[in-house]
Amino acid sequence: MSKIRNQEIDRLFEAILSLENIEECYNFFEDACTIKEINEIAQRFQVACQLDAGRNYQEVNKETGASTATICRVNKCLNYGNEGYRTVIDRLKKEGKLT
């Protein structure tokens, strides 16, 4: 069971799922988050993709600028988490949007 699950977060995720294209995503996330928050989430996803591609921490740090603490945390989530990164990475690969 998720530690963050509640009605407000369910509503937020339903709102995100209602977005129909990239432009709507930009509009929503620019209203809902700071640019720094969006960039941090994007960096974490980039780290997950790099780790999935077999790159080591040093290579990931050089490519993404992420700290070793961030890389370690993302790696832990990628390997032992709730399968969130894995689900998205596998789907994007299947769609040919991630190599």
Domain spans, the chain: 1-32, 35-99
**Rounded to an integer, what distance in angstroms lies between the CA atom of residue 74 and that of residue 50?**
11
In order along its 99 residues, the chain shows pLDDT tens digits of: 678 899 999 999 999 999 999 999 999 999 999 999 999 999 999 999 999 999 999 999 999 999 999 999 999 999 999 999 999 999 999 999 997
Angle subtended at Cα 24 by Cα 20 and Cα 18, rounded to the nearest 5 degrees? 40
Q: Which two tokens stand for residue 7?
A: 């009605």
DSSP state letter for 55: -
Please tell me the predicted confidence (pLDDT) of residue 99: 74
Rounded to the nearest 10 degrees, how much is the dihedral formed by the CA atoms of 78, 82, 83, 84? -90
On whether the 35-99 domain is CATH 3.40.640.10, my answer is no
Strands (DSSP E) contained in the chain are none
In angstroms, the first-to-last Cα distance of the chain is: 31
Please tell me the predicted confidence (pLDDT) of residue 1: 64
Burial 3-21 (b: 16+ CB within 10 A, else e): eeeeeeeeeeeeeeeeeee
